[in-house]
Amino acid sequence: MSALLSNQAQLQYVVQWFTEWSEMQRGDFLDILLETCGQGALVNGLVSSLENLACKENPNKPPSLFECRIKVYREWTQNWTSQEKENLLSTIENLDPKFAEKYQERVKKCEKNGDVDNERNEDE
């Protein structure tokens, strides 16, 4: 599917998905966004555990739509330019300023502390 869509079309899909996600899903997406568009070097694989969370609870349960979208998003962002990632961040900032504020706070904390594990635990 990703080979059939331009990066711009992929960005539009992600923005549409973001508008459909609940607050909890957006909260889960925050760490993924940090990894893919922001502080990837500092996340240290925390998000990969999120991908498998539902499947570990019940291996017979199919992945949720959110989990499928996150998987596709991760694949797509591997081919995005820095400018395309910035465009996504800017669009999200316009859609949900509170989410963007949380994102910026996490980026600053990561830059200051270099420790996402502690920041994540404080947020929970």
Domain ranges of the chain: 2-123
Q: Name residue, tokens 């889960």.
A: 28
Compute the average pLDDT of residues 59-72: 91
Share of the chain above pLDDT 70, in %: 73
Of 123 and 13, the one with more pLDDT: 13
Q: What is the mean pLDDT of the chain?
A: 80
At residue 112, the pLDDT reads 76
Whole-angstrom distance, CA of residue 122 vs CA of residue 117: 9
Residue 43 has pLDDT above 80, yes or no: no
With contact defined as beta carbons under 8 Å apart, do 95 and 18 qualify?
Answer: yes
What is this structure's pTM? 0.74
